[in-house]
Structure 1
Amino acid sequence: MPSARRIPSSRGEGDAAEPVSSTAIPAGAAPAPSRPALPDAASAASDPFADLDAVDLAILDELEHDGRISNTELARRVGVAESTCLKRVRALVASGAIVGFHAEVDPAARGLHLEALITIRLHAHARGDLRRFQAYLERLPATRRVYFVAGDRDFLLHVAVRDTRALRELVSDTLSLHPEVAATSTSLIFEHAPGRPR
């Protein structure tokens, strides 16, 4: 099923970002180390999908919930001609509004019966190159999703493994021993159900 993401766009100039005020620091006190944002390839000050109209949004809604729907049925549901619908879908793919089409496979079908969420906090010196560490997490065989998050942790990692032994090895022997990792916390997933975003 397709998913949507935001990408930088060169269509028009975006508004300038407003300056962020800083909190005053008492005299003599050392400022708290800043946590850099995950850098983007380019500024996304303007909304790259601002030009999407009601038909585009209806197409996205239908495809998000049934990525295998035929173009004929999709056109009928959104109320446009089949040729128009096909052009719209191709334009949405080209713009990045539709990331791709894929099958969502139950990890248990591949023998991965245990899923977990692992929060990861990096050492302060490692936060200067968050993209590199994110790429490292994405390459781990057990990884299903990687999230860069706010708060006292830097990443949330969704993994699927065969059993508790495999999970322990991943956390204790791989992640915790990584020189850039300061701390981890693991939560087992008992059950999850697909949502229908609106």
Structure 2
Amino acid sequence: MPAELTELDQQIIEILSADGRATIAHIASSLNIAPSTAHTRVRALIDRKLITGVHAAQNYAALGRGLQAMIGVTLRPGARQENIRLFADEVRGLPDVIQLFFVGGTDDFLVHIAVQDSSGVRRFVVDHLSARASVASTRTSMIFEYHRNAVAADFS
């Protein structure tokens, strides 16, 4: 825990991570502190960019996109810096993409998608990844179950 993050701050972050819609009154009651203290601490966490947003979790199955996959993408050598930027800028904007990770290791990127069915995965890989001259290979893994402990802020 960073030195400037108190135990109370950590508890507030945990409450808001579990339920981003938790009210100041709920936070205050849960931690046995005054609402004004809860408000001041939450505001300070936001101002210090320790809390960067509140997020809604989408039910992709209910939205007709019940199949999720993680696709490892390796780019071809040559003009890598330009290809990395271009790939990231174009792929992150595709509607099926939930998350895009620029990683080290075997893959250059991991692309997390949600689509209707296995044909949607195939279409995404063929139309949006394999068709790119900069892409050397892809590896697709279907996601059977997903558990998220927290929502991380962008690294930038």
TM-score (norm 1): 0.68
The structure whose Rg is larger is 1
Correspondence for 2:154: none
2:59 counterpart (103, 106, 113): 106
| Inter-partner Cα distance in structure 2 for 1:146 and 1:94 | 27
Higher strand share: 2
Cα separation, partners in 2 of 1:164 and 1:193, compared to 1, 3 Å: same
Cα separation, partners in 2 of 1:56 and 1:126, compared to 1, 3 Å: farther
Which segments of 5 or more consecutive residues in structure 2 lack a partner in the other structure?
A: 152-156
Equivalent position amino acid for 2:59 in 1: D
Q: CA deviation at 1:194?
A: 4.0
| Inter-partner Cα distance in structure 2 for 1:196 and 1:154 | 24
Note if 1:64 corresponds to 2:17. yes
Q: CA deviation at 1:66?
A: 1.5
Cα separation, partners in 2 of 1:150 and 1:50, compared to 1, 3 Å: farther
**CA-to-aligned-CA distance 1:142-193 (integer Å, 9 cap, x gap):** 0001112221111111100112222111101220111221111001112223
1:174 counterpart (118, 128, 142): 128
| Inter-partner Cα distance in structure 2 for 1:131 and 1:83 | 45
Note if 1:83 corresponds to 2:39. no
3-state secondary structure, aligned to 1:57: helix
Correspondence for 1:162: 116
**CA-to-aligned-CA distance 1:3-28 (integer Å, 9 cap, x gap):** xxxxxxxxxxxxxxxxxxxxxxxxxx
3-state secondary structure, aligned to 2:139: strand
| Inter-partner Cα distance in structure 1 for 2:54 and 2:94 | 23
| Inter-partner Cα distance in structure 2 for 1:145 and 1:133 | 14
Which segments of 5 or more consecutive residues in structure 1 lack a partner in the other structure?
A: 1-48
3-state secondary structure, aligned to 2:61: helix
Cα separation, partners in 2 of 1:126 and 1:83, compared to 1, 3 Å: farther
Q: Are the counterparts in 2 of residues 126 and 180 from structure 1 also a CA contact under 8 Å?
A: no
Question: Aligned pairs, how many?
Answer: 150
Q: CA deviation at 1:127?
A: 2.7
Correspondence for 2:73: 120
